[in-house]
Amino acid sequence: MTIESVRRRVYDEKLAASLHPQPLIGRILAGRGVLDAEELELNLAKLLQPATMKDHDGAIDLLSEIIVAGKRILIVGDYDADGATSTALSCHVLRSVGANVSYLVPNRFEYGYGLSPAIVAVALQKKPHLILTVDNGVASNSGVEAAKEAGVSVLVTDHHLPPEQLPGADVIVNPNRVDCEFPSKNLCGVGVTFYVMAGLCRRLQKDGWLESKGLSMPRMADYLDLVAVGTVADVVPLDRNNRILVEQGLRRIRAGRARPGILALFDVASRDHQRATSGDLGFVVGPRLNAAGRLDDISIGIECLLAEDKQTALLIARELDQFNRKRRQIESGMRSEGFEQVEALMAEQSGQLPCALSVYKPEWHEGVIGIVAGRIKEKCHRPVFAFAKSADGSLKGSGRSIEGVHIRDVLVAMVATEPGLLSKFGGHAMAAGVSLAEADFPKFKKGFEAQVTRLLEGVTPAREWLTDGPLNDSEMTLQNAAMMKFLQPWGQTFSAPLFDDIFEIKSAEEVGKGHSRLVLRHVNGGRDLPAVAFNRRIHATDDQQWRIVFRLDVNHFRDRESLQLIVEYLEPVG
């Protein structure tokens, strides 16, 4: 179904030696573009300063003016983990400095994404003087206009790519504005919120507001657990600035100094927060927060993050865990049906797939289509849109892309070709959302495929496994496996170490539902190495050699730890 290849990272050996005395670590870091040992210092003193962030000071001016005047602030967030952490962080900080603040997050099934005119109508019932958007708003031109016409000030904080015409908000803080010179364009919504709230606290302290009210200066570092969760869950590139934010947040989680809600989410997932990694944020905490927004209302997740005590947090976290279990069940059926559509398409096209895929079933759950698109993308290595019918009869689509295909740019090109096709669209390089009429699905499917084919010049996209090369037997250790987990916050564009080499499969047995437990041995000898291949049924063949792409992992079983390899890809050699 997918053409796959293996390529090893190129790195400078002298640079690697200068980065770390252990050659393995040095080559891993050099292979990811680290140029200086100073880049490995992830303390808060190295965090970028907000001086070049466009309208950062204007946002602080507006917020402090509203707070001092005792006026009402309404936060309008988004219904994913980034939006939930952004909303929770701004609520925590604003309440701690004496602001009159509440929040509102659109239910995706009633109002859709962002500051729409419909959600502004709901917001106006709360009689706010200021609407503060977090993780949304930069493309909400009509919603901002509705708020302004009602006499409400609007402060937009966002990170999504802005449209050519910015909304008429009082202030817009977004590092991706074309006129913003902030060096990191990779902040997520909660990262932008963190910078604005930190600046506000400094201003209120400087102006004597906190002292006059008998309030303590908030410690912004205490909220980095929220920033870390939102940053990893939103899959933004982990440049150095984001790695600092994530690493500092992880340190607080490991030390038990996180929000009670985050610690509770680790508990309900039976994970030890003292061993927290960026992977736990992306695959344990984030999905449970997202599940509420996908199936019901993200406010449940926000209340978990706002909980002040462990008992309250645990009650809500258990509810989120149940949502996540239900989400998995729904996803399983939808995923199977999506793959059936892909297989039918392959049968129609003699085993070939087009450069882009669109799948749709009217009864699919609107909140889960993004996950289905992601699963199909992973298996087929194609940009994918999955669609479901919304309550108003239109189609909602969620897209996921691959390296080399900027999916929002593809949508822009489609709109230029078919101006009336999409009623709404937005997103960034790797993910996007659209709305269109049900009758226009065939036209979308054809246009999406045509634009991606044009972009790729008709060449079928191939998945490339980029590895850190081979490991010798002396490097295949439990100590190295443990170190790989905590060496850096791994994530988008700063991926966890991946290795490849030639092995013989000494034995293979099926375990669980379609998984394989293996024993591997280097072709040039050495000891037997235990390995696991998930979602693969592998049969050992005498004298057959295999190129295997793998990760080092720590297997926890009955309070014992042992080394195991996680097989990501394998192909026969010779």
Domains contained in the chain, CATH given? 52-322 (3.90.1640.30), 353-461 (3.10.310.30), 465-573 (2.40.50.460)
pLDDT given at position 1:
53
Which H, E and C letters describe 409-458, residue by residue? Answer: HHHHHHHHHCCCCCCEEEECCCEEEEEECHHHHHHHHHHHHHHHHHHCCC
CA dihedral 20, 24, 29, 33 (to 10 degrees): 120
pLDDT given at position 496:
94
Q: How far apart are CA 192 and CA 566, in angstroms?
A: 36
DSSP annotation of 53: S
pLDDT given at position 458:
86
pLDDT given at position 514:
85
3-state secondary structure of 1: coil
Residues of the chain with pLDDT under 70: 1-2
Q: How far apart are CA 390 and CA 288, in angstroms?
A: 23
In angstroms and rounded to an integer, the radius of gyration of the C-alpha atoms of the chain is 25
pLDDT given at position 111:
82
pLDDT given at position 405:
94
Whole-model pTM? 0.92
pLDDT given at position 2:
65
Q: How far apart are CA 372 and CA 390, in angstroms?
A: 16
pLDDT given at position 112:
78
Task: Record the tokens describing residue 145, joined without a space.
Answer: 């206009």
